[in-house]
Structure 1
Amino acid sequence: MKVFIDPGHGGADSGASGNGIREKNIVLDIGKKLQSKLEKYPDIQVRLSRTTDQYVTLTQRANNANAWNADLFISIHINAGGGTGFESYIFNGNVSSRTKDAQTMIHEEIIEQIGVVDRGKKTANFAVLRQTNMPAILTEMLFIDTKADADKLRDSQFINKAVTGYELGILRFFGLERSSAEGGRPKPTKSDLFIRQVQQFVVDYGYNITIDGIAGPQTKQGLIKVLQAELNKQFEKGLIIDGILGPKTSAALVTVRKGARGNITKVLQALLYINGFNPGPFDGIFGEQTYKAVQDYQRSNKLSVDGIPGRVTWTALLK
């Protein structure tokens, strides 16, 4: 899972200032500390929009997150204007349910950790929220020009609590919570993360399933729906999108070869992993690792071993 952290402002743009402190410095400190926490978890990748006191345009921040194919974008800011407390924002246009989930989960975890006035979950037409392709939120952590808030922002213990709030919210968003009886948050396993990526792929495609890291019937049905839709789109098969491997869908299956790219290959990679064979990155590219995984699957299931998923191999994977 890829988390893009955006410490606001930087360089000549200091952001808000007050009570002897500057926004650009505090948000960079929070961003770096959050990066250190998240990098403890296997298979969670983190990238910052800036790691030093440098100026980065709003469009560059969004473009960098999009180019990286981030799964979550978090922009960190400090408020000003004489108020107090914490608030968060998502884009005020059309957003996915996952974007709303991200805001709710991260907002709630931060409030629980820092115990300040909850100014609410809001919407706005901010550029980094409008221009990003993934779930994106912007947070405003206290008011730099309110002395009581500024005193908290100077307190390293308060900052650490805030960072923990971001961390727990992100883990919750990716479904990586552990019950209190088990002693806190787990390190996510590769299998959980891969299945969640697969499930997020199905959701992003337009089919609503629960993202729980469990490769059950709902995940298989969702993948069949994606496959049916792609067969219709690419090959005009005229299939009913029902998530059922019926005779018409079976007859419509196409051969995929090494070098192929796209959503059909992503479905293939997902099915290989669910069936216990590692295709490498879940990237929709039929490369060497996916080719070897197909061969291993065919060999294990006593099929003709050629590394080419035709109708027989597809049907076996989809059952």
Structure 2
Amino acid sequence: MRKYILSVIVLVFALFVMLLAGRAEAKKEFVIVFDAGHGGRDPGACYNDKNGVEIREKDLNLKIVKYAIEELKKYENVRIYETRPEDNYLTLGARVDFAKHCNADLFISVHNNAGDKSARGTLAFVPSGNYRPEVASEAKRVANKILEKVSERTGLRNRGVASRTYTPEEWVFYPNGTLADYYGIVKRGIDHGIPSLIMEYAFMSNPDDLEFLTKDANLQTLGKATADAIVELFGLAPRSSGSYDNSHQPKLYQNELKILKDGIKMEYTFGEGPFTLPVTGGSGDGQITFEFDTLRVFKFDGEKIHIIGADKNVRVYASKGSDGSYMPITSSNWLTLTVNPKKLSFSLSYKVVDGKLVLTCKVSDMVEGFLPRGKAAFYVDGKLYEKKTFSSDTVQITISDPKPQGKIVVKYEDVTVKNLYVDYYIINDAEIAYTSIPSTDVPETPTPKPTESVTPEPTVSTPAPTEATPEPTGTAPDATEIPVATETPSPTELEDGHEEDKSTAVLIIVLLVFIAILFAAVALYFVKFRKK
């Protein structure tokens, strides 16, 4: 009987150990996604070398990625993906969504820079740390190690890491209210909880750096330096046997994807409900997503497009993600949509309390969740008296020494938004005349008649096939690619890695409890056995 009990205990213990070891082994595989910047209809920066041959950034980026992958394949416990193994175009969102689909531990977007002719060297764009600082910290750690290796191997100047956020006037924020990172790859990586960075290896606008980039051996050195930095940081061991298995990388390319335009509404007003757009083509079972060339007007939540701002001529792209077999694809066309501001009016009322004039200004029919961004400016007898921001639909001021008779006008001012329209609201002025009668009575409130404002003509965009090709630019890493419209993922989506860590911790705790019970049971058994 004693042997039987001990055998069962040992068997259960072994199963726990095997389960825990299996999970630990699964966690050892490091997943990295390389993104060769630009591609397809977007060539990136373009410069002629000393022989007059055009050098396109998209080609250099792809070669560096290939060399980095070639080196990393020599190591164990690493799984490598490419966003574009060939010369095809993807939006920024489609690239980072692919990394999310792959459960990436790291996302590196490979670029080459352009700017002033005197500028030289290697630079990395990393998250600011305004949101998910632990993710930003990991991206910076990787970027600094790559910069160090590249500088050692090539002699290129190490320009360090840099971050850029939107300005307060651009009104693009993270869920915690901080300014969002400007570059689409970096911001979308933070949204998904993936350490993401942009490597700018050299300046194509500098003749010496461009000459360096024209030599294939130098591109190979850049790729190898990048791989070696990853190997060192994450402790990857050389492959002891066998060859790298690349079966996880999707091999199939989807059919052309298009947004259907016939009968589509092209002009909206702020406050209108969510909508969707019909698409056709593509292949496989990947998810359809929509992106926009400004983050202030539309937001895609995974199912529908929501209006969150106002502007003219906003480009909308569609993408279809990977299903494991097919690579992601971006639509070959786009739509151009317009959202007009909503017209509102102020209403004014007052009462006299203890000889003071208490004035109340209210805005009616606002869109839920969207307060006016500007201020209510109160003018008393033609002179500015006070400005108040909106914390609700109503603002109030007190005039301590009102004249026997006068006029108050309220205007909508101080809207600081980098936008064609200054805000998603147009609010008409209102005015009221008063007499300082010591009373608590509220005079009848005049309701100003809304002034007519010019409504832009509906915008219908039917771009020619060549219109889908962005103009090349050489000012910023993502300048020729559209900013990414970002849906706010659920906590589960954003913190997959943390959830897995918690799961492992729970298993460890359960195992420790089990071991304690096991020892107690064995001790009790032997005490009873000796008594017999």
TM tier, smaller: 0.5 to 0.7
- Structure 1 counterpart of 2:158, from 118, 131, 146: 118
SS of 1:148's equivalent in the other structure is helix
Which residue matches 1:282?
Answer: none
Aligned residues of 1:98 and 1:135 also touching (Cα < 8 A):
yes
Which residue matches 2:194?
Answer: 134
**Cα displacement string for residues 258-314 of structure 1 (whole angstroms, at most 9, x for unaligned residues):** xxx965543366x59xxxxxxxxxxxxxxxxxxxxxxxxxxxxxxxxxxx9795258
Aligned residues of 1:113 and 1:164 also touching (Cα < 8 A):
no
- Structure 2 counterpart of 1:84, from 120, 123, 127: 120
Q: Tell me whether 1:11 sits opposite 2:47 in the alignment.
A: no
Matched letter for residue 33 of structure 2: F
Aligned residues of 1:15 and 1:24 also touching (Cα < 8 A):
yes
Q: Tell me whether 1:53 sits opposite 2:79 in the alignment.
A: no
Matched letter for residue 66 of structure 1: K
TM-score normalized with structure 2 length:
0.35
Which residue matches 1:174?
Answer: 234
Aligned residues of 1:106 and 1:173 also touching (Cα < 8 A):
no
Q: Tell me whether 1:33 sits opposite 2:67 in the alignment.
A: yes
Matched letter for residue 116 of structure 1: L
Q: Tell me whether 1:101 sits opposite 2:101 in the alignment.
A: no
Name the CA distance, whole Å, in 2 between partners of 1:316 and 1:156. Answer: 63
- Identical residues among aligned pairs (%): 27
Name the CA distance, whole Å, in 2 between partners of 1:47 and 1:143. Answer: 26
SS of 2:163's equivalent in the other structure is strand
Which residue matches 1:152?
Answer: 212
Name the CA distance, whole Å, in 1 between partners of 2:156 and 2:64. Answer: 17
Name the CA distance, whole Å, in 2 between partners of 1:15 and 1:80. Answer: 10
Q: Structure 1 residues 263, 30: CA separation in 2 closer, same or farther (over 3 Å shift)?
A: closer
Structure possessing the higher radius of gyration over alpha carbons = 2
Q: Structure 1 residues 68, 312: CA separation in 2 closer, same or farther (over 3 Å shift)?
A: same
Q: How does 1:114-263 map to 2 (within 5 A)?
A: 114-124=154-164, 125-132=182-189, 133-176=193-236, 186-187=237-238
SS of 1:18's equivalent in the other structure is strand
Name the CA distance, whole Å, in 2 between partners of 1:314 and 1:49. Answer: 48
Aligned residues of 1:84 and 1:149 also touching (Cα < 8 A):
yes
Which residue matches 1:267?
Answer: 505
Gaps of 5+ in 1: 177-185, 190-260, 273-307
Report deviation, 1:315.
6.4
**Cα displacement string for residues 151-180 of structure 1 (whole angstroms, at most 9, x for unaligned residues):** 11111221121112101111122134xxxx
Matched letter for residue 223 of structure 2: V
Aligned residues of 2:122 and 2:156 also touching (Cα < 8 A):
yes
Larger RCO of the pair (alpha carbons < 8 Å, separation 6+):
2
Report deviation, 1:57.
0.6
Name the CA distance, whole Å, in 1 between partners of 2:512 and 2:231. Answer: 38
SS of 2:238's equivalent in the other structure is coil
Name the CA distance, whole Å, in 1 between partners of 2:511 and 2:213. Answer: 57
Name the CA distance, whole Å, in 1 between partners of 2:63 and 2:518. Answer: 51
Aligned residues of 2:124 and 2:162 also touching (Cα < 8 A):
yes
Name the one with the larger strand percent.
Answer: 2
Report deviation, 1:130.
1.0
Aligned residues of 2:32 and 2:107 also touching (Cα < 8 A):
yes
Q: Tell me whether 1:312 sits opposite 2:518 in the alignment.
A: no
Report deviation, 1:148.
1.4
Aligned residues of 1:42 and 1:188 also touching (Cα < 8 A):
yes
**Cα displacement string for residues 60-95 of structure 1 (whole angstroms, at most 9, x for unaligned residues):** 111111121111111100111122111111012333
